[in-house]
Amino acid sequence: MFFYEMREDKTMFDTHVHLDDSSFEPDRNKIIEGLYKRGVMYVLNASSDLKSSYLGLSIARKYGFVYCAAGVHPHETKNMSDNDICEIEKILINEDKCVAIGEIGLEYSKILV
């Protein structure tokens, strides 16, 4: 069943998107608006580092149905500073549109040394 075939009494919640990714730059707003029109009533944008945490928050502030998760992906920890952790903590504590920690999962598909 595709988005456009969803029944009206069903609510879709996409729990893991990366709308902050640069590949969405040319038509990000159109894509986000299209999600809602197709029945996706809630979206959680997962972040991969401090920069994407702030961009995800910016997107969430613009769209009422978009929320963000702030965090650092395991592949990005090599570029992370202690200050990044403090900034992410501030986002999590102070921002109503930030509702989760992520992306922070264990990554076993690539062993980073």
Give the model confidence (pLDDT) of 26-78 as tens digits.
Answer: 999 999 999 998 889 999 999 999 999 999 999 999 999 999 999 999 888 88
| 46 in a structural domain | yes
| 8 in a structural domain | no
What's the N-to-C CA distance of the chain in angstroms? 42
| 58 in a structural domain | yes
What's the total number of domains in the chain?
Answer: 1
Q: 67 lies in which domain range? A: 15-101
| 111 in a structural domain | no
| 5 in a structural domain | no
The rounded distance, in Å, linking the Cα atoms of 102 and 86 is 15
Q: Which of 10-14, 67-71, 78-82 has the lowest mean pLDDT?
A: 10-14
pLDDT, mean of residues 67-96 = 93
The rounded distance, in Å, linking the Cα atoms of 15 and 105 is 14
